[in-house]
Structure 1
Amino acid sequence: MLHSVSAAKKYLKRLPGALKKNKSQYFIIARADQVSDISLMPRYLKDYVTEFNYLFHQIYKCAYAQIECDENHDCYYNFGNNARKFLEAFLYYKYPNAVEKDDKLARFFGDDALAASLTDRINNEFSHLAGVFERSVLPIDVPEMKTTANFILRKIREKDPDQYSALLQSIGE
């Protein structure tokens, strides 16, 4: 008996043909009281191994999306939150110390102060509306989002090409 969704996902991905997405389907078991239902697994669960991979994909989509296209608005509106959450996890494992005053973002971007500053500003201003409520009534700055997404991707590729390649593979790129 599998007791967690992540264990079930790992098990299912090991089945023969599981990675051939056109020939396989994933199911989820939902239990309510004494009754369990089996239904098709939602796409957001089957397409990503972890939330970390999902967040990386959102940053990647923001970097390469067409600005003029209305279909891409969600990647820009969610970018501040997605980038903040991704970088919190990424930088925690890259610099696993317990020093609170350690500016991990500045360490990550190194001598690229513009990238560190812009990323920090977007992470703070666009992922929290408390204290900057006026930000919620103004249109977002899409070119800044794309620039920041590219800063993040470029630095990961530069500092750890193996991880960058694996992250790309995890999102089908």
Structure 2
Amino acid sequence: MSATCLVVMGVTGSGKSTVAKLLADRLDWPFTEGDELHPAGNIAKMSKGVPLTDADREPWLRTIRDRIAAAAARGDSSVVTCSALRRAYRDVLREADARVRFVHLDGSRRLIGDRLSGRSGHFMPPRLLDSQFAALEPLGPDEDGLVVNIADTPERIVEAVLAFLKR
């Protein structure tokens, strides 16, 4: 297993896409936006303000896992966004034949709520934030990952992640 996949995770509005794109650019690794892989039914549900169930998430997580595996099979390391809120979800992603490492973008409910109030054009409404925080299981000490406070700028977060990857 020579390829690495960096999964940028966290609740909606934590900055996953922004940070992941910057990381992919700096590392020159392909980038996958996990939200674009949601089945239409999931997007419709979330657009109506209905939280997803584990059963809803399962095919989406398998699709992301398969993308990670496909990149690794080509010998490519990659960067992927995925909320990966529960350990069980991260376990699915770790099934890929790659070194799957996590960057948890962590922030207060207030800060993320403020960010969401200024965001437009995304199917995930701000009212689902509470359900995401309720589902969130922080990385365990045995999980290959880093927790980063999102109060920093995206550029500083990227620098912290790059330093983590060198360790």
> When you count helix as a share of all residues, which structure comes out higher?
1
TM bracket, shorter-chain basis: under 0.3
TM-score, with length taken from structure 1: 0.25
Structure of greater relative contact order (alpha carbons < 8 Å, 6+ residues apart): 2
Q: Which has the larger radius of gyration?
A: 1
TM-score, with length taken from structure 2: 0.26
> When you count strand as a share of all residues, which structure comes out higher?
2
